[in-house]
C-alpha cells in the first residue's frame, strides 16, 4: 500500500493522540475527514493497521454516519431534498435535470471535482418544496427550467474567478 508521507504522519499523530480514549475511532475519522474532505481508502487501511480495528468495522462507522464521505466532494455541492413534500412536488425531476446537466448520478462527484450531487431525506423546508441546497444556499419552489441557469451561472462565476 503506497501512502503519501504527510498522510501517514497525520494518521500516526492522530492515532497517538486518541489511542487511549473511549470512542477514538470516530474522533480519528473526524480528523481524517477534516484534513482531506473525505476518508481516503488508503487512510482507512493505514488506520486499520495502526489500531488493529478491522476494515469492516471502520467502514461500518464511515457508512453509518452521514457526515463521513468515501469520495471527495465537489467544489460546489448540490443537495436535492427528497422528503415527502419535495418528492410529491417534483424532486425527482430536479434530480434528473441535475444528473443530465452535470453528467453525474446521485452520490457522485464530477470528474473535474467541480460538482457533487446528492439527495437527502429532508432539509426542513417543506413550505418551499421542492427545495434544494447549493453551496449552503437553500432554494425553494424549484423547477427544472431554473437548474440550467443556476449551473451556468456557477460555471461563469468560476471562469470569472480564474481570470
Burial string for 34-52 (b: 16+ CB within 10 Å, else e) reads: ebeebbbeebbebbbebbe
pLDDT value, residue 132: 96
CA dist 64 → 29, 60, 68 (Å): 12, 6, 8
**Would you kindly state where each structural domain of the chain is located, as residue ranges?**
5-64, 76-162
- For residue 52, give the C-alpha cell: 488493529
* Domain 76-162 falls under CATH 3.40.30.10: yes
Output the pLDDT for position 100. 96
Q: Residue 1: what pLDDT?
A: 52
What Rg value do the Cα atoms of the chain yield, rounded? 19
Residue ranges of the chain with per-residue pLDDT less than 70 = 1-2, 163
Amino acid at each position: 500500500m503506497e501512502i503519501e508521507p504527510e498522510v501517514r504522519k497525520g494518521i500516526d499523530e492522530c492515532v497517538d493522540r486518541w489511542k487511549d480514549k473511549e470512542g477514538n475511532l470516530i474522533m480519528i475519522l473526524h480528523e481524517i475527514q477534516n484534513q482531506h474532505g473525505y476518508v481516503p481508502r488508503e487512510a482507512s487501511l493505514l488506520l486499520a493497521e495502526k489500531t488493529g480495528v478491522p476494515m469492516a468495522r471502520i467502514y461500518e462507522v464511515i457508512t453509518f454516519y452521514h457526515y463521513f464521505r468515501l469520495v471527495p466532494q465537489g467544489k460546489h455541492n448540490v443537495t436535492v431534498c427528497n422528503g415527502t413534500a419535495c418528492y410529491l412536488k417534483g424532486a425527482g425531476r430536479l434530480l434528473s435535470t441535475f444528473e443530465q446537466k452535470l453528467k453525474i448520478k446521485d452520490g457522485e462527484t464530477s470528474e473535474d471535482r467541480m460538482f457533487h450531487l446528492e439527495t437527502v431525506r429532508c432539509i426542513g423546508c417543506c413550505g418551499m418544496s421542492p427545495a434544494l441546497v447549493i453551496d449552503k444556499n437553500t432554494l425553494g419552489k424549484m423547477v427544472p427550467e431554473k437548474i440550467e441557469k443556476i449551473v451556468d451561472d456557477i460555471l461563469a462565476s468560476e471562469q470569472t474567478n480564474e481570470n
